[in-house]
């Protein structure tokens, strides 16, 4: 079942167009992986879903409802959570305040019930509960960002390069956590990744973006097994 439908999307920043006629679907309870070279517009797609870009034409629909020109806070209330590539936590707020803010749309009792639950899921955060992220490691910060997204009981989560700048071991761990979100919680995941091979291996669908256009849209396995696309854009060596 498709949850998010993107139709003929043309978007960019001010007058600078980045995305050209993007059309694709995001399936419910599946993991869609968006890959592509640097600057191809991967982050811009996620930002567009959240109303953070200038959309010139086209539409984005969530469960059939048009969300194209809504404010970010209205979109957030519809159960989408987003972990941006940069600036994905509030560094001037303590971990506690960060979690509190990420549950902004929930009732006070719900936040109070949800925080221990999220901390159980990411135990590292318990030790830094009253600290500011500036005193935490990169991995801890990424966990905080993911736990913030979880606070809202979302049914869709958008991740923008969650494992960038993390060591290989930690980034494998992060990918593992994301897989668990889909498998254990039934959350629809959209994952943008540089590390194409590992993410494609656990993804269901793949979208390959080149210069702001869709170059491939289909099963992740198919893109993995396609030597010409793989070697051209993703650095996958043909076997």
Partner 1 sequence: MVLDIISAFKDAIVFSSLLTLLTIGMTLTYLTTKVPNFAHGSIATVGIYFALITTKLLGLNIYLGLLPSFFAGGVVAILQYIVILRPLSKRNASITTMMVATIAFDFLLLSGLNILADYLSKSFLIISRYFLLKGFDFFLMGERGVLLISPILVIAITIALYLLLTRTKFGVAMRATIENPPLAGTVGINADLVYIVSWFVAGGLAGLAGCLLPLWFIGNPDTGTFILISIFAAAVTGGLYNIYGAIIGGYTVGFAEIFLIRYLASLSDPFGAWIIPYRPVIPLLAMVITLMLAPRGITGIDVKRLRSMFRRNRNA
Interface with ligand ATP (CB under 6 A): 13, 16, 18, 36, 38-44, 85
The stretch among 18-26, 65-73, 122-130, 198-206 that binds partner 1 (CB under 8 A) is: 65-73
Binding of residue 85 to partner 1 (CB under 8 A): no
Helix (H, G, I), strand (E, B) or coil at 233: helix
d(CA 137, CA 133) in angstroms, rounded, equals: 8
**129 binds, options Mg ion, ligand ATP, partner 1, none, Cβ within 5 to 8 A by partner type:** none
CA 69-71-75 angle, 5° bins: 95
Alpha helices in 157-230 (DSSP H): 168-185, 196-202, 220-224, 227-229
Q: Which is nearer to partner 1, 97 or 183 (CB)?
A: 97
CB of 43 to Mg ion, least distance (A): 3
Site string for partner 1, 23-62 (x = CB under 8 A): ------------------------x--xxx-x--------
129: which DSSP letter? T
Phi and psi of 197, rounded to 5°? Answer: -65, -50
Binding of residue 104 to partner 1 (CB under 8 A): yes
- List of residues contacting Mg ion (CB under 5 A): 43, 85
**71 binds, options Mg ion, partner 1, ligand ATP, none, Cβ within 5 to 8 A by partner type:** partner 1
Kindly write down the DSSP assignment for every residue of 46-80, as one continuous string.
HHHHTT-SEEEEEEEEETTEE-TT--HHHHHTTTE
**18 binds, options partner 1, ligand ATP, Mg ion, none, Cβ within 5 to 8 A by partner type:** ligand ATP
């Amino acid at each position: 079942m498709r949850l998010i439908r993107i139709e003929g999307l043309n978007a960019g920043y001010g007058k600078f167009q980045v995305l050209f006629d993007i059309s694709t679907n995001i399936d419910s309870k599946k993991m869609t992986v968006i890959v592509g070279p640097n600057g191809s517009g991967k982050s811009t797609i996620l930002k567009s879903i959240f109303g953070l870009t200038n959309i010139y034409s086209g539409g984005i629909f969530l469960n059939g409802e048009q969300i194209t020109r809504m404010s970010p806070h209205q979109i957030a209330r519809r159960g989408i959570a987003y972990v941006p590539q940069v600036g994905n936590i509030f560094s001037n707020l303590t971990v506690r305040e960060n979690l509190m803010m990420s549950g902004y749309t929930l009732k006070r009792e719900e936040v109070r019930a949800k925080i221990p639950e999220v901390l159980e899921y990411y135990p590292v955060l318990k030790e830094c509960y009253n600290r500011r992220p500036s005193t935490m490691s990169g991995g801890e910060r990424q966990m905080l960002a993911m736990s913030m997204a979880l606070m809202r009981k979302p049914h869709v989560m958008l991740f923008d390069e969650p494992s960038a700048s993390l060591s290989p071991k930690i980034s494998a761990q992060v990918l593992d956590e994301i897989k668990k979100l889909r498998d254990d919680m039934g959350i629809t995941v959209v994952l943008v990744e540089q590390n194409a091979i590992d993410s494609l291996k656990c993804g269901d669908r793949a979208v390959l973006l080149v210069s702001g256009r869709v170059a491939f849209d289909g099963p992740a396995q198919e893109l993995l097994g396609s030597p010409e696309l793989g070697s051209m854009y993703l650095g996958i060596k043909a076997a």
